[in-house]
Structure 1
Amino acid sequence: MPAPTLPAHLGYVVVEGVIGAGKTTMARMLANRAGGRVVLEEFEENPFLDRFYTDRDRWAFQTQLAFLASRFKQQKALATRDLFVPHVVSDYSFDKDRIFAHVTLSGDEVRLYETLYGIMEPAAPVPDLVVYLRSSVDRLLHNVALRGRSYESDMDRGYLAELVEAYDQYFFHYTKSPLLIVDASRIDFVGAPATFDELVRQMASVRGGTAYFNPPDTMQLSF
């Protein structure tokens, strides 16, 4: 039996989640499985990111605007589909930027951000499916530690908890496109091919609204 893949109606799929949820890994795996193109967030090109992690209050606004500009540039390019590429899979949505902004900014800064976001947002393409990898703070910290990025070495638990709450609040009210919420805290879609196959089947079955994938005990890690 051939491995399940993305159906034709899922031309643009977005994988979302908090820092360390496994977005990039899953996006690469999906694009590879579907013979498509992967679009990754260009976080390493943000010149303020290192400084943000050492002093959030001072560098949040500059960091957020740099991300907004970078993501908008990528999203505009995505608006024109390549007829020879059946699927595009991204490891972030344009809406992600706004979630972070409301966690890190306040006052006049968030009001200015909202003005800029409102100008740019209509040009961003709407995904055919969003996959939200929902994870616990403990699992996120575990994953962040494993990948060993220097600027994430002192990742603040409270900051991650804020992000988890903000993401949950956003995606539990999300209606822009079909949405699959995945309980990613206790699954290994990298080391367990059967789990990844089941995730792909679940994605293919979502035609509208919000669906949930809560893996059975046989697919869960003892993390």
Structure 2
Amino acid sequence: MPHYIVIEGVIGVGKTTLTRLLARTFSATPVLEVVEENPFLSAFYTDRERYAFQTQTFFVLSRFRQQQTQVAPLRGRSNLISDYLFAKNEIFARLNLQGDELELFEQLYGVLAERVPQPDLVVYLQADVDTLMTRIALRDRPFERDMDRQYISDLRDAYEEFFARYTATPLLTIATDTLNLVRDPQARAQVIGQIRAALAGYAQPTLLDL
């Protein structure tokens, strides 16, 4: 039976890298978020309070459109692996919005989320703030070059809180601080084995720390 797997985690943790590796392993269609398409993102990192609502609204509509055009038609027909969970909209909104803007956004998100397919497994990638900042610097996206360390720390805390109470689907948590999936075949094999076991129901998905 085809599976739909989602990879999630804080900015810079390695979601897209793992998604691409798994897509080859599972002969799956990768669903990759195109972050650079958001016209408000650079301004958001300069002035988060002013541009948060525009940024988050663009993202939720863009992700919804991708879910409808790429995920929904193939769900249950072929393996799919995505580098984001639609519910991440909630994480970012609650961190960046407040008051009437947060209330309005949550109403919009609630309507859209009802029409988004649920994955069979979510793989949550963890890393400490030092690791995240290093990886963000290494990939050197122009709009991330002056990334605020405190923002990444707050975002990491928000992700930890979200997944501590996450029950919507099976969840596999992987600590990635010492994990190099690209260069370490043993680490890659262990992660793939854990994912296969979780999908097959052979073991309860638990924390994997390599």
Shorter-normalised TM-score: what interval?
over 0.9
Determine whether 1:112 maps to 2:107.
no
- Kept in 1, the 8 Å contact 2:75–2:117? The answer is no
Structure 1 residues 151 and 75: alpha-carbon distance in aligned structure 2, compared to 1, 3 A threshold = same
- Kept in 2, the 8 Å contact 1:130–1:179? The answer is yes
- Kept in 2, the 8 Å contact 1:177–1:209? The answer is no
Partner of 1:221: none
**Could you tell me how far apart the structure 2 residues matched to 1:61 and 1:73 are?**
18
- 1:1-223 equivalence runs, <5 A: 8=1, 11-77=3-69, 78-81=71-74, 86-206=78-198, 207=201, 210-215=205-210
- Kept in 2, the 8 Å contact 1:175–1:209? The answer is no
**Could you tell me how far apart the structure 2 residues matched to 1:143 and 1:82 are?**
32
- Kept in 2, the 8 Å contact 1:189–1:195? The answer is yes
Does the residue aligned with 1:120 lie in a helix, a strand or coil? helix
- Kept in 2, the 8 Å contact 1:79–1:123? The answer is no
- Kept in 2, the 8 Å contact 1:132–1:179? The answer is yes
**Structure 2: gaps (5+ residues):** none
- Kept in 2, the 8 Å contact 1:31–1:88? The answer is yes
* Aligned-partner residue type, residue 127 of structure 1: P
So what's the TM-score if we normalise by structure 1? 0.89
Does the residue aligned with 1:211 lie in a helix, a strand or coil? coil
Question: Runs of 4 or more off by more than 3 Å in structure 1?
Answer: none
- Kept in 1, the 8 Å contact 2:4–2:75? The answer is no
* Aligned-partner residue type, residue 90 of structure 2: R
* Aligned-partner residue type, residue 87 of structure 1: N
**Structure 1: gaps (5+ residues):** 1-7, 216-223
**Could you tell me how far apart the structure 1 residues matched to 2:168 and 2:75 are?**
23
**Could you tell me how far apart the structure 1 residues matched to 2:51 and 2:104 are?**
16
Does the residue aligned with 2:167 lie in a helix, a strand or coil? coil
Does the residue aligned with 2:106 lie in a helix, a strand or coil? helix
